[in-house]
Structure 1
């Protein structure tokens, strides 16, 4: 018997009902796995399809993972397109239209195409996360902006399409984590020029480092120190040693930690931006110590 299966089919094949209850447990309605197993994202995706009577199409974040995108946890809710709503925990059911040319088979399951997956990710995910999910899909399975735009024309003013239209030009497969995408979006939202990602720094003819994001013209980089710096000591030491080498080649590197707030990031980057000769940005006045605002309004105090 497979690791993920429909209970009714197992009973029809002769599995005693008491064995089903004793040795297996449901992960979705009517879908079972061995009690001792911890279902992977792949198992749960299969289970979501089975619970739709093999009629649904895997979509959204789960579809992006099927296309190879990273940073999807095993317990992430599975999105599925079906003709009728079947609410249950761990399953996000959408009754959206989907055309035949928007579905492909991946590892035996019907999954939205890369373009349709991007179309859904950019509309249904929270904006601060949507760009990260789009970046991850572009990194693993590049999709065409033109194909996504075609879907926007096909379906018209559906939910979230305005957000998708805004985010699509910002998608960058060079982002190496969801948090990097978030940092990049914070900078863009506050009028910094769109940062380049994966900027090579050379030792002779060979690059010895790739900077997460930054601006070559003023040699300012922003590096996100993710969880690997907490869990992987060797990686932490390697990265710590390369920073001075990068700085000796004229770069200034702003290191962002997971615990840093949006305002802290903006203040540090903008102060460095000005030191490096970048143009002043009006939006930054409220976030910097160097240029505090002349007056506050509303809850922060009376007008000066």
Structure 2
């Protein structure tokens, strides 16, 4: 059976019998089943919620983002729907938002808010840092322009969360490749030194690509790399990082490396080190 599925439809089609349904599958929502012990991804939860609605709801919020291909959505987060039903169920957040023409598309034969409308909703909820992370992830996944999201503000005057949304759109960036990179960029922005570019391609003397820097200030040749766990545990990756840093230095770049511990516990040190590198390069920051 596909994951997930409507139990009554499977029985009617004789794809399985009631004994198989009750012994091999768990009911996630009313008449919506998944294999027993299955680990559900955000996309699976989105499909299950849509099936629970009788295929009438529009998938929205983080569930829409998941269907559009956004990463870094926590598996424990409930599915989100725009639906008029007054019947609630565990594991699904229901919104009663109105949708204008052109704000719904189809993904995998499922009605979903468009990328622009999805960003519009994500940017209004859950607090500024989380909202920026989610919009960043959607920008990474889709060919979405922030101007498309800004256009929706005029179409929905008075909707809750527009003040936060405007701030989110000012802070969002297509170049964040992880939530940690988003948080790091926000840290610099709060310190008054927002990176002027993300995913900076650095080329060697003969035009060859040396590498890509997560964020930085190309005008001062100061870059920042966020090192995930693989940069510390994978010997080949670590060797590559060391060799790459040497090439960057030969080309006049200063690289500030940041790991999870620094970002979590020593943010002042990150700012101080980066500011020192910028000032050494001649920046007034």
Do they fold alike, i.e. is TM over 0.5?
yes
Of residues 272, 279, 284, the one that matches 1:279 is 284
Question: What stretches of structure 1 of length at least 5 have no aligned partner?
Answer: 281-304
Q: Deviation of residue 86 (structure 1)? A: 4.2
Give the Cα–Cα distance (whole angstroms) in 1 for the partners of residues 194 and 77 of structure 2.
33
Give the Cα–Cα distance (whole angstroms) in 2 for the partners of residues 263 and 86 of structure 1.
48
Question: What stretches of structure 2 of length at least 5 have no aligned partner?
Answer: none
Give the Cα–Cα distance (whole angstroms) in 2 for the partners of residues 137 and 90 of structure 1.
22
Q: Residues 127-155 of structure 1, C-alpha deviation per residue, up to 9 Å, x if partnerless?
A: 11222222222222122333212211111
Q: Secondary structure at the match of 1:123?
A: coil
Q: Secondary structure at the match of 2:143?
A: coil
Give the Cα–Cα distance (whole angstroms) in 1 for the partners of residues 208 and 99 of structure 2.
47
Give the Cα–Cα distance (whole angstroms) in 2 for the partners of residues 120 and 183 of structure 1.
23
1:266 aligned onto 2:266: no
Query: Residue 3 of structure 1 corresponds to which residue in structure 2?
Result: 3
Query: Residue 166 of structure 1 corresponds to which residue in structure 2?
Result: 167
- Quick check: 1:221–1:253 contact (8 Å CA) kept in 2? yes
Q: Deviation of residue 101 (structure 1)? A: 1.3
Q: Deviation of residue 107 (structure 1)? A: 1.1
Q: Secondary structure at the match of 2:173?
A: coil
TM-score normalized with structure 1 length: 0.84
- Quick check: 2:231–2:238 contact (8 Å CA) kept in 1? yes
Q: 1:193–1:21: structure 2 CA closer, same or farther, 3 Å change rule?
A: closer
Query: Residue 41 of structure 2 corresponds to which residue in structure 1?
Result: 40
Give the Cα–Cα distance (whole angstroms) in 2 for the partners of residues 278 and 232 of structure 1.
35
Of residues 207, 211, 215, the one that matches 1:213 is 215
Alignment of structure 1 residues 251-262 onto 2, 5 Å:
251-260=253-262, 261=265, 262=267
Query: Residue 293 of structure 1 corresponds to which residue in structure 2?
Result: none
- Quick check: 1:129–1:182 contact (8 Å CA) kept in 2? no
Q: Which moved more, 1:11-20 or 1:137-146?
A: 11-20
Give the Cα–Cα distance (whole angstroms) in 1 for the partners of residues 149 and 186 of structure 2.
20
Q: Secondary structure at the match of 2:261?
A: coil
Q: 1:87–1:247: structure 2 CA closer, same or farther, 3 Å change rule?
A: farther
Alignment of structure 1 residues 29-108 onto 2, 5 Å:
29-108=30-109
Calculate the aligned-residue CA RMSD, in Å: 2.1
Q: Deviation of residue 100 (structure 1)? A: 3.7
Give the Cα–Cα distance (whole angstroms) in 1 for the partners of residues 54 and 74 of structure 2.
25
Give the Cα–Cα distance (whole angstroms) in 1 for the partners of residues 101 and 234 of structure 2.
45
Give the Cα–Cα distance (whole angstroms) in 1 for the partners of residues 35 and 112 of structure 2.
25
Q: Which moved more, 1:104-113 or 1:67-76?
A: 67-76
Q: Secondary structure at the match of 2:226?
A: strand
Q: Residues 27-78 of structure 1, C-alpha deviation per residue, up to 9 Å, x if partnerless?
A: 2333111214333333222101011121111112221222222223444422
Q: 1:87–1:189: structure 2 CA closer, same or farther, 3 Å change rule?
A: farther
Q: Secondary structure at the match of 1:197?
A: strand
- Quick check: 2:119–2:149 contact (8 Å CA) kept in 1? yes
Q: Residues 179-206 of structure 1, C-alpha deviation per residue, up to 9 Å, x if partnerless?
A: 1011111111221144311112111212
